[in-house]
Amino acid sequence: MVDSSKGSDYKRRAVYTALSEFISGDDLLKAMCLWQEEYADAPRHANNQFVAQVLNGTLLASKHAVIHLKLTTILLEKDPILKPDPLTDMHDYLVRKKGRDHADKVLDHAINSVVATTTQDGTHKNVKAFELLVNEFINNVAQTDKEHFAGLNVAMSNAAKTLNRDNDKLLSLIEWFEGLSLSIPNRIDTDTLRSVLNAGYVEACNKVGPVVADTALSDAVKKVELDVSIKPFSPRDLL
């Protein structure tokens, strides 16, 4: 079975590896930035549209099927040999072409971001948004069901423990859930945060039902979106 839960960093490396056989230099980085901006979270079938958009108006347009096949194959392979993450090069490219602000905006929430901006208190914006969102989500659930909301912390903490990621980073996350620290000091990739939040959502569905869980999370997102301290990061990237 295809593991579609592979992180965005893995997918980015896979797309980069596949495309690098056909294009190079700035063209390749431009394509990768397009993927990051519009297709990183899209379903697998959107790859066809991505390839078409990359090749549009180029001499490679006739190779659409070959490139798409290569991309699909590498994404489905179990243990492909992948090139290193091109995120730094992508950032440099965007800074050169469109300025630092645009580069930060596009790549700010990318996985293992090397350019992640921080809030005034030094926390990374995706982590800050996560903290706010989780707190708001739990508060919203608590307003509906005082009995079960405490279980959400435990579920998210347990989910963090099961993730096969960097232990130091996860430890800070777990400590925050268990109330041992007031904030999460480490930079943590958005994929990890998303998985942990989803575990909380699943727990909320089981404990208080999907209607309450959906409403609580939706309301939380709307409230956190208004917080200027996390901008330009959007809490929707954690969903």
Which residue ranges make up the site for another protein (CB under 8 A)? 1-2, 4-5, 37-38, 41-43, 45-46, 194-195, 198-199, 201-202, 204-211, 213-214, 217-218, 221-222, 234, 236-237, 239
Instruction: Give me the least distance between CB of 32 and another protein, in Å please.
Output: 15
Residue 133 · residue 220 · CB < 8 Å = yes
Supply 65's token pair.
């099927």
Taking the least distance from each CB to another protein, the nearer of 98 and 222 is: 222
Q: Write down the least CB distance from residue 121 to another protein, Å.
A: 25
Q: Which amino acid is at 206?
A: N
The minimum distance between CB 14 and another protein, in angstroms, equals: 18
Judged by beta carbon, residue 41 or residue 175, the one nearer another protein is 41
In whole angstroms, give the CA distance from residue 120 to residue 213. Answer: 31
Instruction: Indicate the helix (H) or strand (E) that contains 75.
Output: helix 64-76
Give the 3-state secondary structure percentages of the chain, helix then strand then coil, rounded to 5.
70, 0, 30
Dist. CA 41–CA 70, nearest whole Å: 19
Give me the residues paired with residue 118 across strands: 124
Least separation in angstroms between residue 77's CB and another protein is 16
Q: Which is nearer to another protein, 42 or 66 (CB)?
A: 42
Burial (Cβ within 10 Å: 0-12, 13-18, ≥19) of residue 188: buried
Comparison of 100 and 236: residue with beta carbon closer to another protein? 236
In the complex, minimum distance from the CB of residue 18 to another protein, in angstroms, rounded to a whole number:
20
Using the minimum distance from each CB to another protein, give the nearer residue, 171 or 205: 205
